[in-house]
């Protein structure tokens, strides 16, 4: 029998952030997810892949956590994290033991307020994304899916690849990602 979920509580903070809380009584793990209503569909001309690029950069240094430190800290505390970008949203999530979940909020708050976007890290991560695009191009099912979406959604933002076109990414620096 599946565990019974507790009620969902929805609050809107003074800064406009909407918070949804849902309990699973007896769970030893707390998962936090931060979802921005911004994805590929929101990118203008020449900005293709900016949302996905920014997703990558959220792990590359902030005021109190250097490049890679968010992942190291998460692992050291026995947790996990990840992120994804779609046409509609960009999401970040952490799972920690119930006695450590506040650490996810500390990490998210720091990168929300103080993302660094160091030019050297931007250049390095651009290469990672270009390699990611090459992997999609080399995988027949991924290449087919992108071609079908481009054709089906011709002229609509859903027809654009989430990773962005190479030429847009090559022209994107720290300020464009910001």
Which residues are known catalytic residues? Answer: 55
- The vertex-57 CA angle with 83 and 82, nearest 5°, equals 15
Count CA atoms closer than 13 A to 100's CA, side-chain side: 15
| Nearest CA among 71, 48, 13, 61 for reference residue 129 | 48
Angular region, 70: left φ>0, alpha ψ -120 to 50, beta rest: alpha
Q: What's the rounded Cα separation, in Å, for the pair 164 and 130?
A: 9
């Amino acid at each position: 029998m599946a565990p019974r979920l507790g009620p969902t509580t929805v609050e809107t903070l003074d800064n406009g952030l909407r918070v949804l809380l849902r309990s699973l009584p007896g769970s030893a793990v707390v998962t936090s997810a931060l979802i921005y209503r911004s994805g590929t569909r929101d990118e203008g001309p020449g900005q293709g892949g900016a949302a996905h690029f920014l997703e990558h950069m959220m792990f590359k240094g902030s005021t109190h956590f250097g490049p890679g430190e968010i992942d190291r800290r998460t692992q050291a505390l026995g947790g996990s994290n990840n992120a994804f970008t779609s046409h509609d949203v960009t999401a970040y999530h952490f799972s920690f033991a119930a006695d450590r979940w506040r650490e996810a909020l500390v990490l998210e708050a720091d990168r929300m307020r103080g993302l660094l976007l160091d030019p050297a890290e931007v250049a390095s991560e651009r290469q990672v994304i270009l390699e990611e695009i090459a992997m999609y191009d080399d995988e027949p099912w991924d290449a087919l899916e992108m071609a079908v979406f481009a054709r089906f959604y011709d002229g609509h933002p859903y027809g654009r690849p989430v990773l962005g076109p190479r030429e847009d990414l090559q022209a994107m620096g720290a300020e464009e990602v910001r």
